[in-house]
A and B are shown apart, each in its own frame.
Chain A
Amino acid sequence: MTTLTLSRALNEGLRKALEANDKALIMGEDVGKLGGVFRVTDGLQKDFGEARVIDTPLAESGIIGTAIGLALRGYRPICEIQFDGFIFPAFDQIVSQLAKMRYRSRGAVRLPIVIRVPFGGGIGAVEHHSESPEALFVHTPGLRVVSCGDPADAYTMIQQAASSDDPVLFFEPKRRYWDKAEVDTEGGLAAALPMDKARVLADGTDLTLLCYGPMVRTCVEAAVAAASDGRSLEVIDLRSLAPLDTETIFASVRKTGRCVVVHEAVVTGGLGAEIAAEVTQECFYSLEAPVLRVGAYTTPYPPSRLEEFYLPDLDRILDAADRSFGY
């Protein structure tokens, strides 16, 4: 075991992925000499060369479009989109080409491409640097969408994503890049939880808190706070957003009877709405209260001086829990 930041854990995971398969490539803006604006790819170009760690022109559609071509040639590109809000120039290539080409080819084509996206707010950034667009990709058949919530998962999940033969959108909680934790970098992937499974982080009996990415730490803290108030919250890190590990979700809700979904993304049309519908349908007779959502208001991301009011925090999560218990 070694103590790593989430950013460093990703770096170590990417290094393992490059070592594991010589067809694996890293490509993106500033990923080479600079090591990425968050240093996630630090040192990789030096060790693996410019042919495998590619500083690309500043064009997101170009990154994904050429990654598709490289994959058609047998390569396994791991692309970085520098910030969440910059993924939209590549949206067409992701939605219309990456997600659909296997289907279009009746299975003849496979596109093992990972798209890493630092996402979410909380770092005091300017516009377009704090967004949570994951639901748009969850809504697109043909993609796997995952998010890591802590350094240990960051290390294993990036390797699992890199070894997947399906396209994977990999959302990284950018405000947690500097969080530290123990990571087992000696053990292989075989013992790791599969990428498409949720993880129960804290057992509880009174209410299920569902979260992913940057909200994982906040929800764990909320559960600790609630415990001091005599409430037992079960915290589940979803990890995989598409597909959802509904088995784990339903088992928990059937046990607790209450469910709150927490994400930074806008609640309207978001993943919480999808989960609420699924839980209502499958756990209807177990529910003591409606499924509640805690997320961003239906506004564009506000100027950063307001983000503490906009983003879900411990108090808003506990407030939602109280409302659930009020039914």
Chain B
Amino acid sequence: MTVKDAGRAARAGKRATDSRAPAREPEREADGAELIQLLTPEGERVEHPDYPLEISAAEVKALYRDLVIVRRIDFEAIALQRQGELGIWASLLGQEAAQIGSGRALSPRDMAFPTYREHGVAWCRGLDPLKLLELFRGVSHGGWDPTAHNFHLYTIVIGSQTLHATGYAMGIQRDGAVGDGGEAVIAYFGDGATSQGDVNEAFIWASVNNAPIVFFCQNNQWAISEPLERQSRTPLYLRAKGFGFPGVRVDGNDVLACLAVTRKAMQAAREGQGPTLIEAFTYRMGAHTTTDDPTRYRLSAELEAWKLKDPIERVKQYLIRTGQAEMSFFDEVEAEAAAVGSRVRTACQRMPDPEPVSMFDNVLTAPTDQLAAERDGFAAYLDSFEAEEAVAAGDRR
């Protein structure tokens, strides 16, 4: 069965069959929805008939390395915020597998549209983590070129980027870049964003245009203090059906499942089979941002239960139990992560503030006369202080 056939079968509501599928009850969440899982929290590899995944030890180890490094970057960023080096930080703790699994499913030509928490996806796309710290330090609003790594700017207004992603996908269609060797788009958003009009409009536009896009929703259960019940009475992945395209729920803490499910959906999109909604079922282990206090609205028991589903530990257990990695491998990864963390920390502390007059740059493609006059007036105003200080210094002498 080709991927295309599998996509068609899924769209027809049929379950594709695979002779390798073991007789195993699928994992289910409390709301009864099936959860695509390829690696259990205990580190046991399981098969799913729709998502066969051939993956080498080297590839699993590479994913493990990604997971550990992005958690380390996140850890350093939280510490930097606590020390006053960053204004705020939105932690990805707990969501590493969803981001690395989906991020590594992308080809270089695919385009990713992130929220403001996709630090793991940024890592996969090759963006320097310092670019992220610039934003949270207040040195820039992002300021990277989206075309450099096919990773769009962080978008802070909830859900807005899903429309940009859909429009970009419509551009891919107009470029004739769908089909063999085609391109596709992935749009990231969270459970809270599914209540936004823009996200629902994006679903409609993507659907009626059959746009090459994957909607990747990280359902981390909490939109700041509001639990999923405040956003939806139906499992989120089921929303896709009403818009006319398939939706799946994947274990968002299972990097292998996220990789396999995203790969398949992206391939279907590239081939012209239209959009897919992926709900990555995960948990925000930390606060919404460093200014949030989750103890005011959620129970520690919930956190403890999710700790047992940690996305990194299960990969480690799998690698150990299958003998695919020596202990020295884990030490090496730890050392590399520490080195990355150290570099990020030092560079952040040394990051200079931008020049004051630079705030006038890039409002339009060229400054208007009015803006140029404002900038020049501001520069002269700043200079006037220096002149006064020079005179005062002269008086003192």
Contact = CB atoms under 8 A, between A and B. Distances in A.
Contacts of A300: none
Contacts of B140: 106
Interface string B148-164: 00001101010010111
B170 interface: yes
B361 A69 contact: no
A86 B175 CA distance: 31
Contacts of A74: 171
A281 B304 CA distance: 65
Interface residues of B, number: 42
A39 B151 CA distance: 39
B167 A92 contact: no
B157 A108 contact: no
A243 B204 contact: no
For the residues of B in contact with A, the DSSP-based class is helix
A276 interface: no
B198 interface: yes
Contacts of B167: 65-73
B49 interface: no
Contacts of B208: 57
Contacts of A69: 163-171
A109 B151 CA distance: 12
Nearest to A110: B365
A62 B370 contact: no
A104 interface: yes
Nearest to B358: A106
Contact of B363 (A25, A102, A105, A109): A102
Interface string A14-44: 0000000000010000000000000000000
A196 B368 contact: yes
B275 to A, nearest CB: 13
Contact of B205 (A66, A75, A107, A110): A66
Interface in A108-167: 108-110, 141-142, 144, 165-166
B201 A62 contact: yes
B153 A105 contact: yes
Interface in A234-273: 243-244, 246-247
B186 interface: no
A286 interface: no
A61 B164 CA distance: 11
Given A102-B363, A106-B362, A96 B160 contact: yes
Nearest to A242: B368
A320 to B, nearest CB: 26
A246 to B, nearest CB: 7
A59 interface: yes
B168 A102 contact: no
Nearest to B140: A106
Interface string A77-113: 0000000000001001100110011111111111000
Interface in B190-228: 197-198, 201-202, 204-205, 208
Contacts of B369: 243, 246-247
Nearest to A165: B365
Contacts of A247: 369
A244 B145 CA distance: 31
A230 B197 CA distance: 58
B55 interface: no
Most buried by B among A61, A102, A142, A165: A61
A102 B362 contact: yes
B308 to A, nearest CB: 40
Given A65-B160, A105-B146, A106-B140, A72 B202 contact: no
B143 A104 contact: yes
B52 interface: no
Nearest to B162: A65
Contact of A97 (B157, B174, B363): B157
Contacts of A71: 167
Contacts of A196: 368
Given A103-B362, A105-B153, A108-B145, A243 B370 contact: yes
Nearest to B177: A73
A104 B370 CA distance: 21
A51 interface: yes
B144 interface: yes
B179 interface: no
A92 B201 CA distance: 14
Contact of B146 (A96, A107, A109): A109
A65 B370 contact: no
A221 B237 CA distance: 62
A106 B360 CA distance: 10
B142 A61 contact: no
Given A72-B152, A105-B143, A93 B160 contact: yes
A161 to B, nearest CB: 13
B166 A66 contact: yes
A291 to B, nearest CB: 18
Nearest to B368: A243
A70 B175 CA distance: 11
A72 B141 contact: no
A108 B166 contact: no
Nearest to A65: B163
27 contacts: A57-B204, A61-B197, A62-B198, A62-B204, A65-B163, A65-B166, A66-B170, A66-B205, A69-B166, A69-B167, A89-B197, A93-B163, A93-B198, A96-B160, A97-B164, A102-B365, A104-B141, A104-B142, A104-B143, A105-B146, A107-B362, A108-B143, A108-B147, A144-B364, A166-B364, A166-B365, A243-B370
Given A70-B168, A103-B363, A108-B143, 9 more contacts: A59-B204, A69-B167, A69-B171, A92-B198, A93-B163, A102-B365, A103-B362, A110-B365, A247-B369
Interface of A: 25, 51, 56-57, 59, 61-62, 64-75, 89, 92-93, 96-97, 100-110, 141-142, 144, 165-166, 196, 243-244, 246-247
8 closest A-B pairs by beta carbon, nearest first, are A69-B167, A65-B163, A73-B171, A66-B167, A108-B145, A62-B201, A69-B168, A243-B368
